[in-house]
Amino acid sequence: MAIYHFSVKPISRANGRSATAAAAYRAGEKIHDERTGETFDYTRKTGILVSRIVTPLGVQPPEWANDRERLWNEAERAETRINSRVAREAEIALPHELPPEAREELARSLAQLIADRYKVPVDYSIHEPARNGDDRNHHAHILFATREIDSDGFGKKTRILDAHETGPDEIDKLRADWAELVNRSFDRAGIAERIDPRTLEAQGIDRDPTQHLGPDATAMERRGEETALGDFNRAAAQTTHPPREDRASQPKPSGDLSRKERRELVTKLHSQSDGPEAFQQALAENGFTLATGDRRPFVAIDSKGAPHNLARLIPDATNDSLREYFAPIVETLHAANTIPAPERDQPEPLSPVFNRAAETGAQNKDQPRLTETFSQAAERPEPPLKDSFNRQAEPPPKDEKQAFFEAQKEQAVFRMLEDYKRLLDAQERQTEEKESIWRRKIEGARDKLEKKQEGRREREEEAHRPKGLEALWERFKDKLDPDRIETRRQEAARIDAERQEREASERLALDQKLQEVLDKNRALLEAEQERQRQDLDRQHAEYIQRTIDQEKQRQRILEDYQRAQKTRDLTREDNERERGRDR
């Protein structure tokens, strides 16, 4: 059967690698690195069938672009940082069902596709199967630069493959393009086989995926020695699963969906629904709750209680169009902050659970916020306060004084609610930004460790591999003393086991360190956000106290005014009595 293999990995100085060494090894040539002064000689390497360089169509590169040694020395010279990515390598499995010329055409087509898409020079080499290995293992190494090339040489960096937002999608696009090229070649050759870049589950194949053996484990398996990875792959090939219909009846929880899966699901439900009621029912059947939000008019709340803006999930949807669409059922929707969040025994790693205290309705019951001590009827603004202090005539009536105080209280409540909502929205945005930054840093640290381990494995393999006369002498001694072969096998197995144990301990130590840093950052952010809420409460308390003091002062002014008015009335009556007595 046709085997699909397409992997992309960087050639980075951070891992002690160079583009000149990679190009020399894959092409089987001798290349001198002008930057480091090293010379990489792999002219004795066998099994290299084709090695060529292609450049982007429509671009007139310099003449040195077709000289392998000069090309990769220029690529090294264009990078100035000590941890720069100087090249990338795509390793592909060529189908053994096709003849050699068809395999070469496939490799050249993919190299040209990469060159045209990213405007970079591409150096590809086709290797035949190893002499003592699987005779179907035809493969190619496609080495391409990380900078665009034009008539002046190397230019700007191709960031699209480096960014976390675009890199995975670009790799998936290349994998799909490679599958299309191979399947098209199968059609021309009249072969019914097909390759598919999707996962086994997506293809409907009910077995566990196998793991890559690597050079050491592969060599041991070829010699008839069983390895842990080999046992795992043999067990995976015999593993059976329940029918796909049974697994499909247990959909993935809505809170565990990725951003892409969530968008695709909501878009599909919206396009298949006849109206807002049917759409609301479809969301509920798939684990989402339709609600209205504070900043976002309509949100879909997943099984973990996280709200998602429908205007971003549904293509071409806007807040205005959603208001018109949900108008018939808007009165039946609950507010997002009134839907209780699901209970969690332990916070999940890398999930924003530390900001739950900032959600509306999740405040401390023992120490309620000041906004909870006022009337909820004051959520709408009132007209400006009436100026009742400049009265020249009679004092204000008693009911107007009460209305004045109520208006003050309602305005205070409205102001505090608005301040608190703005603070919660700002903290939510801050939490999402911090979470995204932490995720990228953790993924970068893990990728860096993996690349470091991979580079170290390659250097160790290269250091232990005999070369030239040493290799001939080792084979001669093996013939004289067959026991040396078994001793070397045992030593290789021991080294492989130690290396796997060392790499596993390094990954575990890194995960523990990252988790400690993450917990510390979460605690700091939670403390900072709690301090902000306490500061806002203190400001509200001071504002309320000022309002009360102003009301008390106003009441004293009114009382003094009434006493002065009463005194004037008594004086007037006394004067009238005196004038009457005089008459």
Q: Which domain holds residue 561?
A: 398-582
Q: Does residue 112 lie within any of the structural domains? A: yes
The pLDDT tens digits of the residues spanning 483-520 come to: 777 777 787 788 888 888 888 888 888 888 888 888 88
- My answer on whether 494 and 545 are in the same domain is yes
Q: Does residue 369 lie within any of the structural domains? A: no
**What is the model's pLDDT at position 366?**
43
- My answer on whether 270 and 417 are in the same domain is no
Per-residue three-class SS string for 75-122: HHHHCCCCCCEEEEEEEEECCCCCCHHHHHHHHHHHHHHHHHHHCCCE
Q: Does residue 144 lie within any of the structural domains? A: yes
Note the pTM of the prediction, 2 decimals: 0.44
- My answer on whether 123 and 186 are in the same domain is yes
Q: Does residue 381 lie within any of the structural domains? A: no
Q: Does residue 147 lie within any of the structural domains? A: yes
> Which amino acid would we find at residue 45?
K
Mean pLDDT in order along the chain per 10 residues (583 residues): 83 90 94 93 91 92 93 93 91 91 94 94 92 81 94 91 84 91 90 81 66 67 70 61 46 74 86 86 87 78 82 81 85 75 45 37 42 40 41 47 66 77 83 84 86 84 77 76 76 82 86 86 86 84 79 79 76 67 56
- My answer on whether 38 and 178 are in the same domain is yes
Count of domains in the chain?
Answer: 4
- My answer on whether 435 and 578 are in the same domain is yes
> Which amino acid would we find at residue 95?
P
CA distance 236 to 229: 10
From the list 339, 337, 340, the residue with the least C-alpha distance to 379 is 337
**What is the model's pLDDT at position 20?**
95
The pLDDT tens digits of the residues spanning 258-269 come to: 777 888 888 888
Evaluate whether 478 touches 471 at the Cβ level (below 8 Å).
Answer: no
Tokens in use for 330?
């808007």
CA angle at 496 for the pair 495 and 499, rounded to the nearest 5°: 85
Q: Does residue 325 lie within any of the structural domains? A: yes
Tokens in use for 293?
């939000």
CA distance 449 to 505: 12
CA distance 66 to 81: 25
Evaluate whether 533 touches 423 at the Cβ level (below 8 Å).
Answer: yes
**What is the model's pLDDT at position 205?**
67
The residue from 175, 197, 219 where one domain ends is 197
**What is the model's pLDDT at position 403?**
67
- My answer on whether 322 and 403 are in the same domain is no
